[in-house]
């Protein structure tokens, strides 16, 4: 059976870039997102490119939904070699026009989703003694923004959570890390295009035990 990578919060940007890059290296791809229609489109595209792909509709903000989706994608087989959390809830609005309920809803995805994944996946990887658990961070984690406040607060909290998980896994053979992307993802950007970002994830993946990084700021 081929190696598998699972991507949560799958979409047409970073997720597809990573799926293509790893698929070309012989990985089967598993995608989880809320929209079944979007998942089918991505699956069709990857399979047209010769990359095996499985999908599961689910919400990362709901731990039960996330667990069911992961179980569907793993399907009783070996654990994925790598799991990538790439989900994000975005609401662009002036800080003074925000309300706390909106903050809570976005944090359920940006922070809660990552927490649910860690609770689900990290014990399995620790028991196995290996595995790559990666997260997409953002430059807003390093500096708050008055228009992108819900995302910047969520990314800052995510960064701290991943740091804690990385320390929990230190010395175990499990690699927990994040790629902090300090730019707007755009296919035409020479640096922040999905293919270039996927290459950074590949560099993280290839790091060997004893010489792994917990974060790449890109």
Distance between CA atoms of residues 124 and 118, nearest Å: 10
Q: What pLDDT is stored for residue 132 in this prediction?
A: 98
Q: What are phi and psi of 118, to 5 degrees?
A: -60, -45
Closest CA to 159 of 185, 173, 139: 139
- Report whether pLDDT(1) > 80: no
pLDDT tens column, 168-190: 999 999 999 999 999 999 999 99
How does pLDDT run across 59-85, given as a tens digit for each residue? Answer: 999 999 999 999 999 988 899 999 999
Contact 94, 106 (CB under 8 A): no
Domains and CATH numbers, the chain: 4-217 (3.40.50.720)
d(CA 155, CA 19): 22
Confidence (pLDDT) at 93: 93
Q: Is the dihedral of CA 58, 77, 133, 81 positive or negative?
A: negative
pTM (predicted TM-score)? 0.95
Is the pLDDT assigned to residue 149 strictly greater than 80? yes
Residue with tokens 């095996």: 52
């Amino acid at each position: 059976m081929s190696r598998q990578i699972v991507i949560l919060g799958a979409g047409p940007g970073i997720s597809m870039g990573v799926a293509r890059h790893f698929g070309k290296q012989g990985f089967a791809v598993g995608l989880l997102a809320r929209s079944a229609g979007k998942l089918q489109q991505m699956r069709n595209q990857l399979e047209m490119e010769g990359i095996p792909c499985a999908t599961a509709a689910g919400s990362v903000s709901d731990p039960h939904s996330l667990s069911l989706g992961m179980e569907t994608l793993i399907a009783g087989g070996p654990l994925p070699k790598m799991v990538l959390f790439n989900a994000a809830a975005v609401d662009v609005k002036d800080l003074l026009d925000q309300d706390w309920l909106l903050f809570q809803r976005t944090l359920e995805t940006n922070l809660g989703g990552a927490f649910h994944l860690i609770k689900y996946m990290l014990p399995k990887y620790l028991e196995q003694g290996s595995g790559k658990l990666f997260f997409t961070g953002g430059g807003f984690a390093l500096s708050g923004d008055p228009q992108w406040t819900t995302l910047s607060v969520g990314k800052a909290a995510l960064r701290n959570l991943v740091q804690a998980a990385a320390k929990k896994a230190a010395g175990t053979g499990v690699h927990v890390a994040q790629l902090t992307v300090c730019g707007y993802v755009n296919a035409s950007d020479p640096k922040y295009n999905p293919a270039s970002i996927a290459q950074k994830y590949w560099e993280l993946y290839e790091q060997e035990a004893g010489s792994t990084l917990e974060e790449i700021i890109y």
